[in-house]
């Protein structure tokens, strides 16, 4: 029991490390969360307001393939679709 003061010193050091790890991990998690919220918000704003971000209204909704991109057109009459 000659090193009784070492117990309190070690406990304080360990609790400080735990506190530091908790705070550091919390800030890391909050930073990742805010980064993802920002990226998601940016995507939503580009889709909602394409003219503000350098796009056009029709370019947002077209497909990525140049052959099949564009507006879909129906190939059957409405009545015939329900009969098939």
- Assess if residue 82 is contained within a domain: no
| pLDDT score recorded for residue 67 | 56
Q: How far is CA 75 from CA 20, 29, 83, in A?
A: 64, 50, 14
Task: Judge contact between 56 and 50, C-beta under 8 A.
Answer: yes
- Assess if residue 75 is contained within a domain: no
Using one digit for the tens of pLDDT, what is the confidence trace for 44-81?
A: 888 788 777 666 655 545 555 555 555 666 676 777 76
CB burial of 17-27 (b: ≥16 within 10 Å; e: otherwise) equals eeeeeeeeeee
Distance of alpha carbon 57 from the chain centroid = 24
Using one digit for the tens of pLDDT, what is the confidence trace for 5-54?
A: 666 677 888 888 888 889 999 999 999 999 999 999 888 888 788 777 66
- What total number of domains does the chain contain? 1
- Assess if residue 73 is contained within a domain: no
Q: Name the residue range of residue 28's domain.
A: 4-67
| pLDDT score recorded for residue 37 | 93
């Amino acid at each position: 029991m000659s090193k009784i003061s070492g117990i309190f010193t070690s406990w304080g050091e360990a609790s400080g490390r735990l506190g530091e790890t908790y705070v550091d991990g919390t800030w890391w998690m909050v930073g990742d969360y805010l980064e993802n919220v920002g990226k998601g918000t940016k995507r939503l704003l580009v889709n909602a307001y394409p003219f503000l971000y350098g796009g056009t209204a029709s370019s947002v909704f077209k497909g990525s393939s140049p052959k099949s991109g564009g507006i879909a057109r129906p190939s059957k009459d409405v009545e015939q679709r329900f009969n098939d």
